[in-house]
Amino acid sequence: MKTLLVYYSRTGNTRDVASKIAGEMKCDVEEIRDTQKRSGIIGFLKSGYQALRETDTVLEPYSRDPADYDLVIIGTPVWAGKPSVPVSTYLKENRSKIKKAAFFCTYGGTGEEGTFRRMAEILESEPLQNMAITEKEMKEGTCDCKIEPFVRELTS
């Protein structure tokens, strides 16, 4: 199965998880790049506000077409209980091209269920798998115990 891993990361946590998944799956990777500046406290506040309002953003052009893949794994940080604005925008722009999907998210407190639900609503289909990793699991280095079964399920 030809797999593409697509992710957006504001702070690096989602990027770290994406790197671990890609290393185990040997799949192609596409980092979603936003044209808006989202760093610092102002970027954090703006990002949460836009996620709540479900606004879209303008993304930089992609290098890979999700239509060329059997499975697209999509990773996002949780922003105000929703997927990040860049990931929501990506899903809206590519929903007709994604045959099968799996989701993962990184988060500090809560919101993973609402994030996965919203991603499925945008795609108009349920994912094969979901995986949520907390900031605490990242810091403690215990996220591998979630990544390994996630990858195993997707590759079996």
Segment 74-95, tens digit of pLDDT: 999 999 899 999 999 999 999 9
Whether 27 contacts 56, CB under 8 Å:
no
Within a 10 A sphere around the Cβ of 45, how many other Cβ atoms? Answer: 11
pLDDT the model gives residue 24: 93
**Model-level pTM greater than 0.85?**
yes
Chain-wide mean pLDDT for the chain? 94
Cross-strand pairs, 28:
4
Q: How crowded is residue 35: how many other Cβ atoms within 10 Å of its Cβ?
A: 9
User: DSSP 3-state assignment of 5?
Assistant: strand
The pLDDT tens digits of the residues spanning 1-55 come to: 899 999 999 889 999 999 999 999 999 999 999 998 888 888 888 888 888 888 9
Q: How confident is the model at residue 60 (pLDDT cuts 50, 70, 90)?
A: very high
Region 56-82: mean pLDDT is 96
